[in-house]
Amino acid sequence: MKKVTLGTITLLSILTLAACSSNKESTTTSSKEKTEQSSSTTQSKTKVDNSKYNDTIKEIKEKLDPDNTGGVTVEIENNVTDSEYPDGHNIIRVLLTGESQKAAKEALDAVYSNTATTDQSNTITLFRMTISELAKNLPDDTTTIDFGYEQSADQYDLIAKSSKTKDVIPVGDLIVE
């Protein structure tokens, strides 16, 4: 009799847990759908005027891709929030592509692993100096120029990041032999 009672209680407990778990999943799914719906409705459908960055973008392309080889792409992301700018800011994302990306990745990896040659270290430092100087001409204090390459979908390795007032990634010094 004890075994039957214990078996019945165990079975009821398992059914109750399964029912609660199922109910929790549907509630979670329902709340996720509501969150997705509300977040999509709160996003502004108005077009942002990025024309104030035209001169900066032109200068970036002239300095980093003077022969217009396509080794650099430039895009603007608006109202991005992160730890540096919790109220949101705009990012001018400058990405290396092709062979220039491979060379920069190799140099940056070498710098981070302390195996960089003088040329590799100076290349990274010169990139950072260039971005720092370009950022000083930005129209506001919160916009940043992020310079690097795409590691995978929406994942970037940054070589330089600067705003008008500060270098988020420190520039460093050139090495003279």
Q: Where are the beta strands (DSSP E) in 40-107?
A: 72-80, 89-96
Selected residue with higher pLDDT from 6 and 167 = 167
In sequence order, the β-bridge partners of residue 91 are 77, 144
Nearest to 107 by CA among 131, 124, 90: 124
pLDDT of residue 7: 39
Phi, psi of 156 (to 5 degrees): -125, 145
pLDDT of residue 43: 41
pLDDT of residue 171: 94
Is pLDDT at 105 greater than 70 in this prediction? yes
pLDDT of residue 45: 45
Average pLDDT, the chain: 78
Which pTM was predicted? Answer: 0.70
pLDDT of residue 46: 56
Is pLDDT at 37 greater than 60 in this prediction? no
Selected residue with higher pLDDT from 83 and 35 = 83
Selected residue with higher pLDDT from 33 and 99 = 99
pLDDT of residue 25: 41
